[in-house]
Structure 1
Amino acid sequence: MKASVISVAGTTALTMEASSGPSPGPSPVVHRRRLLTGLACVAVAPVLAACGSRPVPPRSLDLGPAPVWPAQTVLPRRVDLQSVSASELMLGTGVVYRLDDTDPYTRRSYRDSRWAAPLSSLMSQRLKQINSRATVAAGAEGVPAAVVNVELDDCVQRFSSATHSEVTLRLTARVGILSRTFEATAAAGGDADGAVRAMAQLLDRLGVDLLVWAAATPRPPVKA
């Protein structure tokens, strides 16, 4: 606002006129507060965006529940699984596959699926579970157990096409100077779930065969 003096017939009057200039802006305190609020929003936005796009963690897989021991299978003596060793390639937790039809020399792992522990550890635990459920012949308590050492070969899902794959499992068992290799192949579908099911089925089948063979090996002669 500005003041002006007007003289009319010897009378002096004081009037107020509106200024034609701009209205006064916000005070420095209000302006600073608005600026800080804007900067805070800008800083928080990337964090919120990152939280919204966080990747889903991979599934943790194992071989499932141990199978029931075959009712008609009886071991002539107990079997002591002394050790289960494996190739270094089985020490990781990736569910591994190969594309034999396009790139057979590359090992790949599923991005959204992982073993809960190294595959060698899961298979070792599974063999011990199968052995603990085995039926032993009556009167075999006093018979020395067959001490067996097992070696696990690399076990990989192999694709021959986009929807068809197989898993081959090979186990080598040793009792004293005797040894035998057990091998089988099963269809594994087109994904990680198929590979896991195939590996569990193969290990359950070969595990029983291995224990039956170990229990039937000749017992060492008793020293006089």
Structure 2
Amino acid sequence: MWEIAMQGYGMSGLFGLVRRRPAFALAAVLALSSVAGCAGTGAALTNVRYDLGPARPAASAGSGPALKVLDVGAADPLDSDRFVYRLAYADAQRIAVYRDSKWTAPPAQLLTQRLRAALSQRGAVLGGEDSVRAPVLKVELAQFEQVFDGRSQSHAAVTARATLTQDGKVLGQRTFVARAPASTPDAAGGAAALATASDDLVDQLVVWLGTQAGGAAQ
């Protein structure tokens, strides 16, 4: 409406309008400012990239036994930078992705970085290609998504399966589940909640590895 109403007014016409009809002119200026502000906000929210935030600072390097930590595996769509969500209240079996919000890297890669950083506080962390004889940790990411329980309520859901082996022998295997509420029902709230849930899952995994230390050392 304001776009149509303001057509045909140049700067001189606008000044004249201010003198003749100040109330109308003020309303027009406020409306245009509002539209410009909305346009700026929309542009700022296009193609937003999220990560898991800074890792928690390590007190010191651990002196425990070395551990080979393979890259976290995941099936599509968790092997891409797409931000997955699920409208559980409408169709719990269907997943979707945000159009303008993505991860800086695939969730499996982000979780690999988080896991290795945490385990480095326990002991030496090696790659799968290292020739050193050490237990091997393999993690498969099964779920990494924002789940909407209602239109204005959601939570982060992260599920992963860990397998610890050495010399071809399975020392232990377990599935880990982490959940965290989202403060807002949008991608920003989901990203923050997924970061919290990821740290929780990593903490669970580190504790579990501590219970496997006896078998791994044999």
| Fold shared, TM-score > 0.5 on shorter chain | yes
Which residue of 2 is the match for residue 77 of structure 1?
65
CA distance in 2, matches of 1:107, 1:81: 30
Q: Structure 1 pair 220/105, CA: closer, same or farther in 2 (3 Å)? A: closer
Q: 1:220 Cα shift? A: 5.1
Deviations 1:139-172 (A, max 9, x none): xxxxx74321111112221111111011221121
Matched with 2:93 is: 105
Q: Counterparts of 1:172 and 1:117 in 2: how far apart (Å)?
A: 20
Give per-residue Cα distances to partners, 1:27-86, cap 9 Å, x unaligned.
Answer: xxxxxxxxxxxxxxxxxxxxxxxxx99x83411111111113589xx7853432134211
Aligned to 1:126: 114
2:215 corresponds to 1:219 = yes
Identity of aligned residues (%): 31
Contact 1:79–1:146 under 8 Å retained in 2: yes
Report the counterpart of residue 161 of structure 1 in structure 2: 150
Is the 1:75–1:212 Cα contact (8 Å) retained in structure 2? no
- TM-score, normalization by structure 2: 0.63
Aligned equivalent of 1:62: 51
Where 2:116 maps in the other structure, the secondary structure is helix
CA 1:145 to 1:175, structure 2 compared with 1: closer, same or farther past 3 Å?
same
Q: Structure 1 counterpart of 2:182, which letter?
A: A
Larger Rg over CA atoms = 1
Quick one: structure 1 residues 221 and 202, their matched pair in 2 at CA, closer, same or farther if it must change by over 3 Å?
A: closer
**Residues matched between the structures, number:** 162
Q: Which residue of 2 aligns with 1:206?
A: 201
TM-score by length of 1: 0.62
Letter of the 2:103 counterpart: W
1:192 to partner: Cα distance:
0.7
**Structure 1 match to 2:182:** 188
Q: Tell me which stretches of 4 or more aligned residues in structure 1 moved more than 4 Å.
A: none
Per-residue CA deviation, residues 60-115 of structure 1 (Å, 9 max, x unaligned), is: 111111113589xx785343213421122202222111112123333222222111
* Structure 2 Cα separation of the partners of residues 114 and 124 of structure 1: 18
Helix, strand or coil at the partner of 1:154: strand
Distance change >3 Å, CA 154–CA 76, structure 1 → 2:
same
RMSD: 3.0
Larger proportion of helix? 2
Gapped regions of structure 1 (runs ≥ 5):
1-51, 137-143
8 Å contact kept, 1:146–1:219: no
When residues 187 and 220 of structure 1 are mapped into structure 2, their CA distance, relative to the original with a 3 A threshold, is: closer
Measure, in 2, the Cα distance between the counterparts of 1:96 and 1:84: 18
Output the CA distance in 1 between the equivalents of 2:59 and 2:116. Answer: 16
